Chain A
Amino acid sequence: MPIGTTDTPMPAAQAQRPPVTPLSRGRAVLASEWIKLRSLRSLWTTALAGFGFSVGLSFLVCSSFQSRWHTLGAQAQAHFHPIDISLGFLQITSLFFGALGALVVTTEYGTGEIRGTFVATPQRPLVLAAKALLLGLLGFGLALVTVSAAFLLGQSRLSGAVPHASLADPRAAGAVLGGALYLTLTALLGLFLGVLVRSTAIAISALFGVFTVLPVLVNNLPKGLVWRHTVPYLPSNLGFSLWHSHIEFLVRPMPAGSTLALYVIVTAGAGLALLRTRDG
């Protein structure tokens, strides 16, 4: 290491300091966050678990429909929808993606590493933006692979008299894309929730409550005025609208997608406000 001996050292690394432009600053933060993301083992194990669960469930559900098709009544057969059936795993897989998003930031709070992150980059909103961008891209990639693989494997089990779909069917492609979008938005929601609560356990419990427990409690209540203006807007039901064929009372895919995105943006805003004022 080059070393100066004067009172004001001018070490060699100083000469290579990058220019002060928003672009170079943003690129540096992205590079740093990407190194952390790809070396975060719990992220990859969660993604792998989510993949295994989705593919496995789709396989099991479709296989059982195939083998028991003749035992179903005529009405059940008429209502059978191969796309909806093979994508049912999404109701649980959203949890894996929510957890995956939360882990990106809660592991840093849990270990205290977040302080090192903010010492290196005092521009905290930039750190969160970089995390969100990378998680959005990576999450969408993982989600698309997971949902497509599960869909294809599920459909491959359906044959003969059992209706089946292929990705060439625009409705099937739309459902797979909608499902991947749902998982991506859930991951982002998990990230910003993680910023708010700073704890993996709390973030995952909250996701579990909102995405899994709450719908079970309220979805089948009498569909009065209050129900119709609240329950369809639960994140899990908005997600449902994104991949499932339309059912009465629920929101259409386009408004469902934008409302879910709005939730993500509001949570991001709250996280950002806290991040700027909170002591690290």
Chain B
Amino acid sequence: MIEARELTKRYGHKAAVSGLDFRVEPGRVTGFLGPNGAGKSTTMRMILGLDLPSSGSVTVNGRRYQGMVWPLYEIGALLDARAVHPGRSAYNHLHSLAAANGIPRSRVDVVLEQVGLTAVARKRVGGFSLGMSQRLGIAGALLGDPGILLFDEPVNGLDPDGILWIRTLMRSLAAEGRTVLVSSHLMSEMALTADHLLVIGEGRLLADMSLDELIARDATDRVEVRAVDHHRLAGELRTLGGEVTLEPDGTLLVVGVDSATIGELAAAQGHVLHQLRDVTSSLEEAYFRLTEDSVVYRAPVPA
């Protein structure tokens, strides 16, 4: 488990991360979501003891990272897949990481097999594609068979096959009971992978809830109606208590009256309808509303 308390990182006067409070629980994929520059990578570096917090703290299994003697047995991380010396072979790269924590050499072969790089194990990393580098980074994270895994933007620049592979891997790691924290700025990707979401914007925590809750919280479910006499229908819907917006193309967006009621009303009043459609808000919309607020008000939305 990862736990942050009042975690803050300032560079000069600018706060990259301010007052983050969260827990990343085992057994599920936690998505760490936010626009570029929101403070995701800074937070991950603080979790791993690379950057020191300006104030507050973050712990891994209850301990500060800097105090861990053999950290790779507890936590594995993929930060930047390209951060490997290009002249070194994949095998030597993993072997040096394993040796640093006294992890048996046999694990190197196991993780290479697991990510499908066995055939190129002795090849120089400089010749690897981005997808292969990501796999190598993930192999490094899996070396110590850790209970906690951190992935920073793992699907960046990957082809659909690679994305599917990583998504499946993260889900299976969480299903095994591990703690999985994955950062992304791609909402659509998180919708498919994450069970739980931490949304940050401008270094502040905007939401800490399950995917369904996040969508439901902002669920302003609407009905889209296209009618021949939309002005008359709009008036009738307003008398029913609906909130009606008229789009330039004549489409009515209705909030507060469900589609069944609208259909019955239309039949009773003799309307000709060309379209009647429920619109549920997506994670993307919920996310935009959240981050939009953070930009306008510069204050956290209560989680």
Given A13-B103, A120-B101, A111 and B45 touching (CB < 8 A)?
Answer: no
Structural contact, A279 and B85, CB atoms closer than 8 A:
no
Chain A residues whose C-beta falls within 8 Å of the C-beta of B73 in the assembled complex: 13-14, 17
Closest to B124 in A: A41
A40-B85, A40-B88, A111-B84 known; A117 and B50 CB under 8 Å?
A: no
In the complex, are the beta carbons of B177 and A1 less than 8 A apart? no
Interface code B90-109, partner A: CB below 8 Å = 1, 0 otherwise? 00100111011111100100
Instruction: Let me know if A17 and B102 touch, CB within 8 A.
Output: yes
Question: What is the CB-to-nearest-CB distance from B174 to chain A, in angstroms, rounded to a whole number?
Answer: 11
Complex formed: what's the CA distance from A14 to B74 in Å? 8
Given A7-B27, A39-B92, A28 contacting B86 (CB threshold 8 A): no
- List the B side residues contacting A35 at CB < 8 Å: 92, 95-96, 99
* Contact call B107/A113, Cβ cutoff below 8 A: no
**Does B147 interact with chain A (Cβ within 8 Å)?**
yes
Q: Contact at B49–A40, with CB atoms within 8 Å? A: no
Which label, helix, strand, loop or mixed, suits the secondary structure of the B interface? Answer: loop
- A84 CB-CB contact with B under 8 Å: no
Contact partner, B178, options A9, A20, A113, A121, Cβ 8 Å:
A9
Q: How far is the CA of A221 from the CA of B104 in the complex (A)?
A: 60
Judged by a CB distance under 8 angstroms, whether A107 is at the interface is yes
Chain B residue contacts of A28, Cβ below 8 A:
99-102
Q: Assuming the A-B contacts A4-B176, A5-B177, A115-B80, are A120 and B72 also in contact, with contact meaning beta carbons closer than 8 angstroms in the complex?
A: yes
The answer to whether B45 and A280 touch across the interface, beta carbons within 8 angstroms, is: yes
| B66 at the binding interface (Cβ < 8 Å) | yes
Docked pose: A6 CA to B99 CA in angstroms: 29
- CB B259 to nearest CB in A, in angstroms, measures 42
In the complex, the answer to whether A119 meets B101 with C-beta atoms within 8 Å is no
Check A112–B177 contact: CB distance below 8 A: no
**Other-chain residue from B71, B85, B102 in contact with A113 (beta carbon distance below 8 A):** B85
- Complex CA gap A123/B65 in Å reads 10
CB of B192 closer than 8 Å to a CB of A: no
Contact A24 B50 (CB under 8 A): no
Distance A35 CA – B145 CA, assembled complex (angstroms): 21
Complexed CA–CA distance, A119 and B68 (Å): 10
Residues of B within 8 A of A24 (CB): 102
Q: Can you list, as one digit per residue, whether each of A1-22 has a CB less than 8 Å from chain B (1) or not (0)? A: 1111111110111101110100
Q: A32-B100, A39-B89, A118-B50 are in contact. Are A13 and B176 (CB under 8 A)?
A: no
Q: Cβ of B296: which chain A residues have Cβ within 8 Å of it?
A: none
Contact of A32 among B83, B96, B104 (CB under 8 A): B96
Whole-angstrom distance between the alpha carbons of A40 and B89 in the complex? 10
Q: Are B27 and A122 in contact (CB under 8 A)?
A: no
A195 within 8 A of B: no
Query: Does B280 sit within 8 A of A, measured CB to CB?
Result: no
Contact A121 B45 (CB under 8 A): no
Q: Check B70 for interface membership: any CB of A closer than 8 A.
A: yes
B26-A8 in contact (CB<8A): yes
Question: A8-B177, A280-B50 in contact; A1/B80 too (CB < 8 A)?
Answer: no
- Closest approach, in angstroms, between the C-beta of B26 and any C-beta of chain A? 6
- Give the contacts of B39-85 with A (CB-CB under 8 A): 45, 48-52, 65-73, 77, 79-80, 82-85
Complexed CA–CA distance, A25 and B102 (Å): 8
**11 A-B residue pairings within 8 Å (CB atoms):** A1-B114, A8-B177, A18-B102, A35-B99, A112-B82, A113-B83, A113-B84, A115-B79, A119-B48, A123-B69, A279-B50
Seen from chain B, the residues whose Cβ lies within 8 Å of a Cβ on chain A are: 26-27, 45, 48-52, 65-73, 77, 79-80, 82-89, 92, 95-97, 99-104, 107, 110, 114, 140, 142, 144-147, 175-178
